[in-house]
Amino acid sequence: MTNFGKIMKQAQQVQARMMKLQEELALKTVEASAGGGMVTAVVNGRFEIVSLKIEKDVVNPDDVEMLQDLIAAAVNEGVRKAQEMAQAEMSKITGGLQIPGMM
């Protein structure tokens, strides 16, 4: 087999592993909270919010802005953690090599 043929075969194997990883990441989740646990967001490896929990004590009709800030903080932290998790899993396949457009 020529060098080009070997490279193409390896590229196909890496692509197949990456597709499998993306399926696996959809099943993995991270959890992040804000306000001392008053708002908790669960985010999967595809950066989708799986669940959002809001404690009753933080719901105050006179201070909706605080609740909005807590939700944004929890979701943003969840997405950040999910990105770290996805990057760590991807580096197992790529050997730490940064591939443009991949996460």
Handedness of CA 57, 60, 64, 65 (dihedral sign): negative
Report yes or no on 81 lying in a domain.
yes
Residue 25, domain member (yes or no): yes
CATH number of the domain encompassing residue 42: 3.30.1310.10
pLDDT at 35: 95
Structural domain includes residue 36: yes
- pLDDT greater at residue 95 or residue 30: 30
Question: Is residue 99 domain-resident?
Answer: no
- Torsion angle of alpha carbons 55, 61, 62, 68, nearest 10°? 60
- Total count of domains within the chain: 1
More confident residue, 1 or 58: 58
Report the chain's mean pLDDT, rounded to a whole number: 89
Phi and psi at 44, nearest 5°, equal: -90, 175
Residue 76 has pLDDT above 90, yes or no: yes
Residue 100 lies in a domain: no
One-letter identity of residue 95: G
Give the pLDDT confidence score for residue 56 in this predicted structure.
Answer: 95
Write out the residue range of the structural domain in which residue 84 sits: 3-94
pLDDT in the model for residue 68 = 97
